[in-house]
Amino acid sequence: MPETTVPTHTLNDGTELPAIGFGTYPLRGAEGVDAVESAIRAGYRLIDTAVNYENEAEVGEAIRRSGVDRDELVVTSKLPGRHHGYDEALASIRGSLERLGLERLDLHLIHWPNPSVGRYREAWRALVTARDEGLVRSPGVSNFTEQHLEEVVADTGVTPVVNQVELHPTFPQVDMRAVHARMGVQTESWSPLGGRDALLGSDTVSRLAERHGVTAAQVVLRWHVQLGSVPLPKSATPERQRSNLDVFGFALDTDEMAALTVLAQPDGRLFGGDPRTHEEM
């Protein structure tokens, strides 16, 4: 049995999402299967993959090997930019299911809006159809701005359950978190450890880690949890997988939360992935 009990958020469609999940990029091949299997055995129940990570087959294999009941898992994948047309998106989802060896995705996200292509609204309509047909339990998005969110809601009346965005103390997404709160969209954090070396080695994080008797990564992941965002840390190391999950036994106070958020930089994105301009096919 996993040692850590992970609380859940209730999404806008009434389903539950664990408060922390496992990011699988760039885990591939036999080592990738081992890493995802060990994460599930450690207690992760939210598993985050994508067509473009090219590891859906590995994730499916790890799920089967783990012996954990499929219905206990929240399996997420993401639709790539090259599949944004309506028919292409539905075919893409069937491809993901085939590679994963599953009959249903729990969450499926539009990976990037790719506004220069301008077909994310069509892609969203396809995700809503996929939900209605039972291929996807809950449709969501990733890297959407307020404008993209408003457009897809206006088109369909369906609000994405999550928006997975780059979020870490150097880029805390204050505005998008407020948009999500207003619209009823759950925030998920990608690259939650934020280019880890500078952040995890910083004086602020080190001081808090020492004070609480935890690791630097646990401090940062706890900050996400207390912001109400769901972090998706990736680690290939079983020991780190376990400790990253174990962030529910201590709490940061208001001053400590503020000390971390203050590490924000005007453009604190790791690689300049601004969704208004970034293209990823």
Which residues are catalytically annotated?
53
Q: Does 240 bind ligand A2P (CB under 6 A)?
A: yes
Task: Please report the DSSP string for 143-176 in residue order.
Answer: S--HHHHHHHHHHHS---SEEEEE-BTTB--HHH
Determine which helix (DSSP H) or strand (DSSP E) holds 60, and give its type and residue range. Answer: helix 56-66
- Minimum separation from the CB atom of position 168 to ligand A2P (A): 7
Residue 105 or 217: the one with the smaller Cβ distance to ligand A2P is 217
Q: Where are the beta strands (DSSP E) in the chain?
A: 8-10, 16-18, 22-23, 46-48, 74-79, 105-110, 136-142, 162-166, 186-190, 230-231
Pick the piece of the chain touching ligand A2P (CB under 6 A) from 108-116, 145-153, 173-181, 236-244.
Answer: 236-244
23 in Cβ contact with 59 (< 8 Å): no
Residue 131 or 234: the one with the smaller Cβ distance to ligand A2P is 234
Q: Does 222 bind ligand A2P (CB under 6 A)?
A: no
Q: Binding mask 132-171 vs ligand A2P (x if CB under 6 A, - otherwise)?
A: ----------------------------------------
In whole angstroms, give the CA distance from residue 69 to residue 79: 25
Pick the piece of the chain touching ligand A2P (CB under 6 A) from 50-58, 92-100, 105-113, 238-246.
Answer: 238-246
- Which residues contribute to the site for ligand A2P (CB under 6 A)? 23, 191-194, 196, 200, 215, 217, 233-237, 240, 243-244
